[in-house]
Structure 1
Amino acid sequence: MSTKPSAIVIGAGIVGLSITRALQSKGWKVRVIERHPQAQGASVRNFGMIWPIGQTLGPAYDRALRAKEIWKEMSAKAEFFAEETGSLHLAYTDLEMKVVEEYTAAMDGVKSAKALSPTQVAALSPATKLEGLKGALWSADEMIVDPREAVLKTAKYLNSLEDVEFIWNKAISRIEGNTVYSGKKSWSADKVFVCSGADFETLYPEVFEATPITKCKLQMMRLVQQPQDWRIGPPLCAGLSFIHYKGFEVAKSLPELKSIYQEQYPELLELGIHVMVSQNGLGELTIGDSHEYGLNLDPFDQNHINQLIIDFLKTFAQFKDWSIGSSWHGIYPKMTNGAIDFVKDIDDSVTIVNGMGGAGMTLSFGLGEEVVERI
């Protein structure tokens, strides 16, 4: 009788959950160790957007589509909200509309991208401000979950499976060979996966220092549940998102658009602000966000940044209730060399899985399968 291979996964955020799911499906015995009573990091502090449109064609886009399929599967099994919404990127200038048309032409037959008229936008989105609207980019690929609900319920579901165990409230302070330690307690397995976000620097400071990686702080808010079950339709973005995502770089007019934004919105670009909104199953609206990069991030949130986000959002969106229910910041690791992930074998036993920047919800489930496949 053969013994199942065993693994320890450090971190119960979306990356750790993705590795755990992939391992369990391949017949591994998995123990997940999380330093908090439940996931509290960037995995629960985001829009909940599964966002293939932001990814470049090739491995990243394919990984995003695979991740979306897994999210659908997990939503059904773990019973959390997931909605295939698609997305709208709104255009209010001729140049923004030119970028939309260039992008859709480049993606013809490849992605679901389509240019819409203002009338078509109005039919999809009661939340869009139509005054001055030139049109929009429509994509059918995007999906929304509520990260707070989805990450929690996915962990509970995985914990219910055979040969999966979650250990909460234990911080791993060192790893020696295939054994991990939290104070005097220790656990051993055939493989160890370090999926603890930027905190991996605590376990492997030399690796962190030698890696082209930094940290990003973002500020976000959540508006209250909209009255009378009012829905915004697809999540909304405006022009600043065109210059944020690499997927749009196929549009030839993008450099010109970026140059105009640098003159028109210097403060927004300096703060890394591009504005988006998504709606969860309860009807609450998540809005944001800003991007501050570096290793000495401001521990204090700036109300001025939140107000800039709200003010820009009001130029293209209209809601029933703008009351803010909560605000927060999140911090995630991001590669500085353009890589979409950081997967490093420390030795035969230990692998770090990290570095997806702000695309963790979009890419992690796909990456988890890829990492486990190569063992």
Structure 2
Amino acid sequence: MTGLGRATAPLDAADLVVVGAGVVGLGAALRAADAGLDVVVVERDAAALGASVRNFGHGCVTAQDGEALRLARATRELWVRLAREAGFWLAESGAVVAARHDDEMAVLADLAAARADEVALLDGAAVEEAAGCPGAVGGARLSSDVRVSPREAVPALAALLARRGVRFHWRTAVVGVDERGVETSRGRVDAARQVVAVGHDVDLLDAGLAEEAGVVRCALRMLRVRDPRRAPSPAAAGGRALPALLTGWSLLRYDAFAVSPALGAVRERLARERPDALAVGLHLMCTQRPDGDLVVGDTHAYGDAPSPFRPEDLDDLLLDEVAALLGTDRPRVVERWEGVYASAPRPFLLSAPRPSTRVVSVTAGIGMTTGLGLAAEAVDQLAS
């Protein structure tokens, strides 16, 4: 019996069942399929609709450190491979950090000294030439970063896995997990190994685990805008895609920049000059879509249940900052959306509530950057 008490027949059986068809869930299914396992994926929606498709599509590899850098490098290799196998767009165009203040340039110089193989310093003219950002005092090119269009890449990856024999049960909610498989709204899936990859919704299956890990929800606002600098875009015309454009706000969000003693000065100046932006967790960056539009963002709100009612002045703040960054009038908004992802004191959740089960989530805003690599490690643990 499930749900309202109606009897249901067994649904499926496999070597491994994956709960969730976002990037982490698909990464787990990929690793298991590569190992020759019979795999079933169960997803409550009719398609991946969560954080995996509501992001910049930016593999922000170079700005990571420690465990995140290791997972980011593994994930980058997988994105490049999968773009070739599944046929989705991928740009290996790197990223440019625009330094608009001397203290930001000092941080970039320290990172370049520590990571000369991946970070090259630029002068202001080179930043404008590479990323279309005028007025910078300098910057840096982060060579390892990659970019996909998540709305196309995620369903293309699911389709590739389906062609390889992975079975998907869409519009099917999981209501329980045990050492023999999962109970769903359509019946039981028997599997000796289980990967639970439901992001911030881990509390719906195990509230105690979520509370112990400190998992809360992060709601972020993002916009898709017409690029006010050029029409048509080089990418839209089949030419060179612009690199992702990061700013001084990015220095506060990614661990690699902590190598610099100057980072404190950046934080203090931004807190003094823009307390309003700091209060809403502004991360000012832009990525170019294949059609030439820009994805810009973002602002953040954290909590167990962030309010769905977000004031318009958050988007006004973001649009004003984008206009100042690009040296243009406010861009025209094409789409607005809110993404929700898991956030916790540690950037990754990889828990083993029992030997046969792994609960896995990227608990920071770097799911596209590290999720495929983290999922592979979860499956490897189960296999061993």
TM-score (norm 1): 0.92
Contact kept, 8 Å, 1:301 with 1:328, in 2: the verdict is: no
Partner in structure 1 of residue 353 of structure 2 = 346
Aligned-residue Cα RMSD (Å) equals 1.8
Deviation at 1:75, TM superposition (A): 0.6
Deviation at 1:373, TM superposition (A): 2.0
Partner in structure 2 of residue 202 of structure 1 = 204
Contact kept, 8 Å, 2:53 with 2:151, in 1: the verdict is: yes
Structure 1 unaligned residues grouped into runs of 5+: none
Distance 1:184 1:66 in 2: 35
- Count residues with an aligned counterpart: 363
> Any idea what the Cα deviations from partners look like across 1:160-195, whole Å, max 9, x if unmatched?
103x11110101112233231223511110111110
Partner in structure 1 of residue 32 of structure 2 = 23
Contact kept, 8 Å, 1:220 with 1:288, in 2: the verdict is: yes
Partner in structure 1 of residue 362 of structure 2 = 355
Partner in structure 2 of residue 300 of structure 1 = 309
Distance 1:328 1:308 in 2: 15
1:229 and 2:236 correspond: no
Pick the aligned partner of 1:70 from 75, 78, 92: 78
> Any idea what the Cα deviations from partners look like across 1:259-315, whole Å, max 9, x if unmatched?
111100101111000110001212121000011111130112321111111111112
Aligned counterparts, 1:257-296, within 5 A = 257-296=266-305
1:253 and 2:259 correspond: no
Partner in structure 2 of residue 192 of structure 1 = 194
For residue 222 of structure 2, give the secondary structure of its aligned residue in structure 1: strand
For residue 292 of structure 1, give the secondary structure of its aligned residue in structure 2: strand
1:170 and 2:162 correspond: no
Structure 1 counterpart of 2:304, one-letter code:
L
Partner in structure 2 of residue 117 of structure 1 = 123
Contact kept, 8 Å, 1:192 with 1:349, in 2: the verdict is: yes
Distance 1:297 1:320 in 2: 31
1:89 and 2:97 correspond: yes
Deviation at 1:367, TM superposition (A): 1.2
Q: Which moved more, 1:357-366 or 1:174-183?
A: 174-183
Deviation at 1:62, TM superposition (A): 2.0
Contact kept, 8 Å, 1:117 with 1:136, in 2: the verdict is: yes
Partner in structure 1 of residue 323 of structure 2 = 314
Distance 2:186 2:247 in 1: 52
Aligned counterparts, 1:139-150, within 5 A = 139-150=142-153
For residue 105 of structure 1, give the secondary structure of its aligned residue in structure 2: helix
Partner in structure 1 of residue 248 of structure 2 = 239
Partner in structure 1 of residue 159 of structure 2 = 156
Structure 2 unaligned residues grouped into runs of 5+: 1-12, 236-240
TM-score (norm 2): 0.90
